[in-house]
């Protein structure tokens, strides 16, 4: 994602820079200015070339022509013009500025940083140089340096929503979720119609991801719903139903918004025309899982794991805890509980701050019968994130159904299960089944039957079988014991 953003920003920067250069260095009567303003770049280049023929030392025309070349992706010619400016004026900051943009587009990131830094030495606080360097730092994974540049950028241009959005992306990449949310919120408060049209959906999506990591599922759902409302993918797909990128982006959004049937439809549409990437394959598997197609989901997870879906990312960036968390969740779903715990432990050591991690590790411990460790993880997660519904449902299930009687606590399980319902953005069958189990453990079998009956109405496919199994116990006035927690 950062690579795509950086490329787009570099391209936009070149366009903005061309306009600024022309505005500052040429009169409104200049033919080159007029042609550039009208986006007639061939005519603009021809006009600047005539000026250069008349005066081979005209650095302003070289710079303007270089910017036009950049927009046409004629990067070798653009670089040649920048080099000529440096020969004529060794301390011209704009030559380094343009050259930095060219190197950025060529993925020569270190050179891009060197050039933009030299521009800033000659002309401190050049906003475009700071922007270009910040994005390049981000692409290289030097997030602290990127944040430093973005802090100065925001001081210089506090009303530009894009700067807050991009700094929020850096915070998200560093797993600093509250800081990311603050920047995304600030970006959304700005009133920039062009930015809102193209990027508001993505800002809501990213803020939703940060909320999810903190366990704020209601706020996350609101953001994902708004992202779907403001995104352009529905219209783009209507206009060009063969552009798979729009299905991918919309499918991801549907998945985040828990519209699993819609997400499944988009990814199956992609699969008709091309092979899904391992990441897309994994999302497809989770769609099936959420829709109750457990065996279908596990088959996809197994295939994804065998294709080393996360191993390559881990090898490339071993310091990113998110890859270990994601692989651990996949291993958990495949009942590889100890391997999942190993991944969760590694993610913790690397500083993963997602509130789902402790709950996930606790659930793996529960599956292995390590009830003390499971309860410890659940209680710790609950104290750290009292607004995260995931922990409530996990701990409530353990207290209501654990095979070891000393860990059962019906009244507390019932309290936790009801709190989970309050925190959820939307009631699901699983949460209702936990209330049923807690009711039964508390001796309220009539209530248990009521809750599990409601759960059955929402459950699909294989999940209905689980509900029917519980109902059989409650009808005989027996609490449910999960022999395979």
Kindly report, residue by residue over 72-114, the tens digit of the pLDDT: 899 999 999 999 999 999 999 999 999 999 999 999 999 999 9
CA 167 to chain centre: 14
Instruction: Quickly list DSSP for 244-293.
Output: HHHHHHHHHHHHHTT-HHHHHHHHHHHHHHSPPPHHHHHHHHHHHHHTT-
The C-alpha atoms of residue 387 and residue 421 are separated, in whole angstroms, by 11
- What is the three-class DSSP state of 150? helix
Minimum mean pLDDT among 27-31, 205-209, 459-463: which range?
27-31
Angle (CA) 283-250-389 rounded to 5° is 55
**CATH code of the domain made up of 387-485:** 1.25.40.10
| Distance in angstroms (rounded) separating the CA atoms of residues 176 and 321 | 13
Residues 291 and 283: their CA atoms lie apart, in Å, by 12
Note the pLDDT of residue 59.
Answer: 94
Domains 310-381 and 387-485 share a fold: yes
**In angstroms, rounded to a whole number, what is the distance separating the alpha carbons of residues 464 and 462?**
5
Reported as a pLDDT band with limits 50, 70 and 90, residue 26 is very low
With a pLDDT cut of 90, the percent of the chain lying above it is: 76
Task: Tell which CATH classification among 1.25.40.10, 1.10.10.10, 3.40.50.10470, 3.90.79.10 matches the domain 2-158.
Answer: 1.25.40.10
pLDDT at 40 over 90: no
Instruction: For residues 157 and 134, give the distance between their C-alpha atoms in angstroms, rounded to a whole number.
Output: 14
Q: Helix 410-423 and helix 389-401: axis angle, to 10°? A: 160
pLDDT of residue 317 exceeding 90 = no
Reply yes or no on whether the pLDDT at 352 is more than 70. Answer: yes
Asked if residue 96 lies in contact with residue 126, where contact means CB atoms within 8 angstroms, the answer is: no
Q: How far is CA 46 from CA 15, 64, 88, 287, 380, in A?
A: 18, 11, 21, 55, 68
Mean pLDDT on 240-246: 94
For the chain, the domains span 2-158, 232-309, 310-381, 387-485
The overall average pLDDT reported for the chain is 88
- How far apart, in whole angstroms, are the C-alpha atoms of residue 327 and residue 278? 12
Question: By CB neighbour count within 10 A (0-12 exposed, 13-18 middle, 19+ buried), where does 108 fall?
Answer: middle
| CATH code, 232-309 | 1.25.40.10
pLDDT digits (tens, 9 = 90+) for 118-132: 999 999 999 999 999
DSSP 8-class letter at 406? G
Cα distances (angstroms) measured from residue 251 to each of 86, 224, 248, 287, 418: 48, 12, 5, 10, 32
CB 212 within 8 A of CB 220: yes
Task: Report pTM.
Answer: 0.80
> CATH number for the 310-381 domain, one of 1.20.120.530, 3.40.630.20, 1.25.40.10, 3.60.110.10?
1.25.40.10
Is residue 244 over pLDDT 80?
A: yes
Which candidate, 419, 426, 440, 432, places its Cα nearest to that of 482?
A: 440
* Model confidence pLDDT, tens digit, residues 394-444: 999 999 999 999 999 999 999 999 999 999 999 999 999 999 999 999 999
Residues 6+ away with beta carbon under 8 Å from 183: 164, 165, 167, 168, 171
Q: How confident is the model at residue 39 (pLDDT cuts 50, 70, 90)?
A: low
């Amino acid at each position: 994602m950062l690579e795509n953003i950086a490329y787009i920003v570099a391209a936009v920067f070149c366009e903005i820079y061309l306009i600024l250069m022309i505005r500052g260095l040429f009169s409104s009567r200049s033919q080159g200015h007029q042609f550039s303003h009208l986006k007639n770049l061939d005519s603009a280049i021809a006009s600047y070339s005539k000026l250069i023929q008349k005066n081979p030392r005209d650095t302003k025309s070289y710079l303007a022509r270089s910017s036009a070349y950049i927009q046409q992706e004629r990067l070798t010619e653009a670089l040649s013009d920048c080099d000529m400016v440096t020969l004529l004026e060794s301390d011209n900051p704009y030559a380094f500025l343009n050259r930095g943009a060219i190197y950025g587009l060529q993925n020569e990131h270190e050179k891009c940083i060197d050039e933009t830094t030299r521009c800033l030495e000659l002309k401190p606080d050049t906003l475009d140089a700071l922007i270009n360097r910040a994005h390049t730092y981000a692409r290289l994974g030097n997030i602290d340096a990127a944040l430093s540049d973005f802090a100065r950028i925001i001081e210089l241009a506090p009303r530009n929503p894009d700067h807050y959005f991009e700094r929020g992306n850096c915070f998200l990449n560093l797993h600093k979720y509250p800081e990311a949310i603050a920047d995304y919120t600030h970006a959304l408060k700005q009133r920039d119609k062009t930015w809102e049209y193209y990027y508001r959906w993505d800002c809501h999506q990213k803020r939703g991801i940060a909320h999810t990591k903190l366990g704020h599922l209601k706020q996350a759902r609101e953001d994902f719903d708004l992202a779907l409302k403001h995104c352009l993918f529905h219209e783009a797909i209507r206009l060009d139903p063969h552009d798979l990128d729009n299905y991918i982006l919309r499918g991801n959004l549907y998945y985040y918004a828990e519209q699993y049937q819609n997400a499944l439809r988009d990814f199956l549409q992609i699969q008709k025309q091309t092979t899904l990437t391992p990441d897309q394959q994994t999302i497809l598997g989770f769609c099936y899982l959420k829709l109750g197609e457990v065996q279908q989901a596990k088959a996809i997870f197994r295939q994804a794991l065998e294709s080393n879906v996360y191993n390559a990312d881990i090898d490339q960036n071993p310091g990113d805890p998110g890859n270990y968390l994601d692989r651990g969740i996949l291993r958990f779903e495949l009942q590889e509980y100890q391997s999942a715990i190993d991944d969760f432990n590694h993610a913790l050591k690397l500083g993963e701050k997602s509130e789902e991690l402790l709950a996930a590790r606790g659930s793996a411990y529960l599956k292995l019968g390590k009830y003390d460790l499971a309860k410890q993880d659940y209680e710790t997660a609950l104290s750290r994130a009292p607004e995260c519904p995931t922990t409530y449902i996990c701990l409530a299930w353990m207290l209501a159904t654990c095979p070891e009687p000393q860990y059962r606590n019906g009244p507390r399980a019932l309290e936790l299960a009801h709190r989970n319902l309050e925190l959820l953005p939307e009631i699901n069958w699983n949460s209702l089944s936990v209330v049923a189990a807690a009711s039964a453990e508390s001796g309220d079998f009539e209530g248990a039957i009521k809750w599990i009956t409601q759960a059955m109405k929402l459950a699909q496919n294989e999940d209905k079988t689980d509900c029917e199994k519980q109902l059989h116990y409650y009808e005989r006035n027996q609490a449910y014991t999960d022999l395979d927690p």
